[in-house]
Structure 1
Amino acid sequence: MEPALQPDFFAFLHIDLNSFFASVEQQIHPEYRGKPVGVCGTMADTGALIAASYEAKALGIKTLTKVGEAKRLCPDIILVDGSHSVYSEYSHKIAEAVERCCPVAHTPSIDEMVCELMGRERELPRARKIALEIKQAIKDDVGETLNCSIGMAPNRYLAKIASDMQKPDGLIGLLPSQLPRAIAHLDLRDLPGVGARTEERLKAKGITTMQQLLDLDRNGMHALWESVWGDRLYHWLRGADSGDDGAPVASGVQKSLGHSHVLGPEFRNDEGAWAIAHKLLHKASMRLRMEKFYTPVMSVTIKYALSREQQGRVKTKKHSSGINSTGWAMEARFPDCQDTLSLLAVLRNLWKQRPRGPEYERPFFVGVTLRELIPEADHQASLFGDVDNRAALSATMDKLNLKFGHTTLHFAGMLPAREAAPTRIAFTQIPVQYGVEYM
């Protein structure tokens, strides 16, 4: 029995900013407009671009292209060191411009926003008018180089798909009466949540095209995914609202926070790696206090570059930068705390246990993560009080760093790396402003 024909309407608008970081750079620097621009996560040939302008994309340069390869494809490409604070500021400005036209219901990432339409806003002409007003508001309020593609659909999952169907500056609507045939031409990888591994798993089960996927009934989709996700996806792709509309399921209390960094060439030694680790902890512990958590667990990860001769002697992996490497990681448990001095003592003890030898002389990546976060309200105070007034010391540091910048006051160990390891762009984490800077 065929499902009853649904009335045509749009319930969600998904706003996807086109080449956001590169477009911001072109807005700030008019001399970059009309030219290929690449935004770097790390200014080294082994680093990868985190964004490319459409002029660069036309030359085959895209996100995650190695910096060295981008230079080869376009010797004249303008390479820019990405600024988390600047892009965060622009993201907030854009959200304000969108809010002038329609309330923002969800912010999946720094360059995406979702609006939920209500009442007569769901009618086709009105929804399209709102979408066009959003595009114009972004240009009027934030900048003429900032384009966005907007997807309109009866649920969030389809709206996300629609926003990717026409770039740049696209506006695509997927109506219930057109589904699922309107998406039958897409690739499996065009579905949110379907990456390379999932695509391979689907192919192993005989599903190689979108049409084959759409031909499955609900039971077939459940069996294919081996979970209720298959049932949800069956309904989403046909325009139904299953309650969560493809939104991530909340996992309760935040479990961890941390920072990692690919070291610049000048820091690829023991002293430089320690200074970078120190700075990463400085930032993580400040965030821990700002977000009102304690932690009882810290983990440290170090990755080491290997020469060709060394690769046969230890377990080797290829890093995303292309570097053949080996790695080390260790975790420590301790009485939960949030002050920098206590956490620094834990980091120092972990660092002493890092491996030694010829294969571990060229660190190129360091990560520090605080785990099993405990909300302040659930923290059990120590019977012995605040040893050495460490909480007061951290509070004083925070007060000055929030006012003058996050590295204004710090412990001496991170001095060599004070200007290194800047806050990197968080694609899926909504940026938060603490004091004068974003994290």
Structure 2
Amino acid sequence: MAFPTLPDRFGFLHIDLNSFFASVEQQLHPEYRNRPLAVVPTLGDTTCCIAASYEAKALGIKTGTQVGEAKKLCPEIILIAGNHDHYAEYSHNIAKAVERCCPVAHTPSIDEMVCQLIGREQEPPTARKISLAIKQAIKDDVGETLRCSIGMAPNRYLAKIASDMQKPDGLIGLLPSQLPRAIAHLELRDLPGVGAKTEIRLNAKGITTMEQLLALDRNGMHGLWDSVWGDRLFHWLRGTDSGDDGAPVPTDIQKSLGHSHVLGPDFRSAEGAWSVAHKLLHKAAMRLRMEKFYTSSMAVTIRYQLTREQAERMKSKKHFSGIKHTGWGMEAKFADCQDTLTLLEVLRGIWQHAPQGPDFARPFFVGVTLKNLIPESEHQETLFGDVDHRNELSVTMDKLNLKYGHTTLHFAGMLKAREAAPTRIAFTQIPVQYGVDYM
């Protein structure tokens, strides 16, 4: 098909913070700079690195590397348990620094920001000047260890691709006149949205290289994905857009919220898992009220660690940490509510159905999700109202927990896990601060 000639202008900047969590730790601790460092969820050899400094990456240590393996590759590696609050605070400060140079239009994750360019900002020399100003603002306002790679492109999808093409501290532009040849050398997995499973599916259809993919016309791309995604991708890779510039399709309202946690060795028992689940619900219920929702459904997931003999005998999966496990889950529906005590009763009822016996004696992962969220404005009160004053109790607890920390006042069941299951590092959203804590 004939393709229209597009002006050589950039519509978007995609800012990708390099080794963000590790860089924050090196900014906070000057003694760790220029040394191999990895951020981990907990200090244990069976867990995995969730971030690595560039000094560690040079030794083959990356996100997903098991801690035990990382120690073999680099016995002197510095391991730090991740601090969610620090990373959230730095992300907010970086956003402020970027805003000095150009408004932030989107925040895809805690370590990514997107700026949309308008008017003369779209001219390549001006876009490059803005990008360099952003880099300098982050260094001046936030810290010298915080580096970023910036991709400049006519649409969001290509800007994301460009930001990954040169790290660390890169600045790459993809102009329409250079497309699609400028990305023909990339791997299929370099495309956002193409993971391992999608790559296998493409390979099975005869597409193994980027050149083969780019040779397809729009109908061919549609048929390859058997959906409108193929049509969108055809346009994005050539510098045009399909109406959403690669942004996820928005939903009318948030559908669910929840928390999950990989249990530390001290909590891998029925009692320990219950106390952690109790704390996860405590946090989720507080968020539910802060975000002004009611819920009518709760899902609980538990994964159980298996011995080699059990894994051979039972249907099992392998966790990214290397742990062989089997899983169980259950969802319960109930009348709309938002108070912690009612939700705790639901959790207790679900928990009673969890499998028992020696094959399920070592829980190592717990997840609690509140689903079917209903905005407060759409909630219909029951005929008799809150006869037990449960909502009032929750509101009182929230006031104290917002002021002094979210574990200040809680029900006794989570006492053992009060300091466990800290707020998780958020990759796909910018955390919100409620009171003195990020959640």
Provide the TM-score with structure 2 as the length reference: 0.99
Deviation readout 1:187-225 (Å, 9 max, x if unpaired): 000000000000000000000000000011111111111
Written as runs of structure 1 = structure 2, the 5 A alignment for 1:236-247 is 236-247=236-247
- 1:9 maps to what in 2? 9
Written as runs of structure 1 = structure 2, the 5 A alignment for 1:190-339 is 190-339=190-339
Deviation readout 1:309-338 (Å, 9 max, x if unpaired): 222443211122211111111111111100
Deviation readout 1:116-145 (Å, 9 max, x if unpaired): 001000011100000000000000000000
Deviation readout 1:44-74 (Å, 9 max, x if unpaired): 2111111000000000000111111111111
Q: Distance in 2 between matches of 1:307 and 1:117?
A: 55
The one-letter amino acid paired with 1:370 is L
Q: Is the 8 A contact 2:284 2:370 kept in 1?
A: yes
- 1:135 maps to what in 2? 135
How far is the alpha carbon of 1:182 from its aligned partner? Answer: 0.3
Q: Is the 8 A contact 2:276 2:420 kept in 1?
A: yes
SS of the aligned residue for 1:133 comes to helix
Written as runs of structure 1 = structure 2, the 5 A alignment for 1:18-417 is 18-417=18-417
Q: Distance in 2 between matches of 1:300 and 1:227?
A: 32
Q: Distance in 2 between matches of 1:268 and 1:431?
A: 28
The number of residues matched between the two structures is 439
SS of the aligned residue for 2:301 comes to strand
How far is the alpha carbon of 1:91 from its aligned partner? Answer: 0.3
The one-letter amino acid paired with 1:57 is K
Q: Is the 8 A contact 2:18 2:149 kept in 1?
A: yes
SS of the aligned residue for 1:31 comes to helix
310-319 vs 44-53, which moves further: 310-319
SS of the aligned residue for 2:50 comes to strand
SS of the aligned residue for 2:105 comes to strand
Q: Distance in 2 between matches of 1:347 and 1:115?
A: 42
26-35 vs 344-353, which moves further: 344-353
Q: Distance in 2 between matches of 1:355 and 1:313?
A: 17
How far is the alpha carbon of 1:103 from its aligned partner? Answer: 0.2
Deviation readout 1:139-181 (Å, 9 max, x if unpaired): 0000000000000000000000000000000000000100000
How far is the alpha carbon of 1:241 from its aligned partner? Answer: 2.2
Deviation readout 1:338-358 (Å, 9 max, x if unpaired): 000100111111111111111
The one-letter amino acid paired with 2:333 is R
SS of the aligned residue for 2:389 comes to helix
SS of the aligned residue for 1:388 comes to coil
SS of the aligned residue for 2:398 comes to helix
Q: Distance in 2 between matches of 1:30 and 1:158?
A: 35
- 2:433 maps to what in 1? 433
RMSD: 0.9
SS of the aligned residue for 1:387 comes to coil
Q: Distance in 2 between matches of 1:272 and 1:431?
A: 27
The one-letter amino acid paired with 1:193 is G
How far is the alpha carbon of 1:301 from its aligned partner? Answer: 1.0
Q: Is the 8 A contact 2:402 2:434 kept in 1?
A: yes
Q: Distance in 2 between matches of 1:226 and 1:351?
A: 41
Q: Is the 8 A contact 2:302 2:367 kept in 1?
A: yes
Share of identical aligned residues, percent? 77
The one-letter amino acid paired with 2:19 is S
Q: Is the 8 A contact 2:41 2:82 kept in 1?
A: yes
Q: Distance in 2 between matches of 1:72 and 1:312?
A: 28
Q: Distance in 2 between matches of 1:266 and 1:215?
A: 55
How far is the alpha carbon of 1:227 from its aligned partner? Answer: 1.0
Q: Distance in 2 between matches of 1:43 and 1:429?
A: 25
Q: Distance in 2 between matches of 1:250 and 1:67?
A: 37
Q: Distance in 2 between matches of 1:44 and 1:247?
A: 37
Q: Is the 8 A contact 2:276 2:414 kept in 1?
A: yes
How far is the alpha carbon of 1:261 from its aligned partner? Answer: 0.5
How far is the alpha carbon of 1:4 from its aligned partner? Answer: 3.4
SS of the aligned residue for 2:86 comes to helix
The one-letter amino acid paired with 1:347 is L
Q: Which runs of 4+ in 1 moved over 4 A?
A: none
67-76 vs 90-99, which moves further: 67-76
The one-letter amino acid paired with 2:275 is A
The one-letter amino acid paired with 2:359 is E
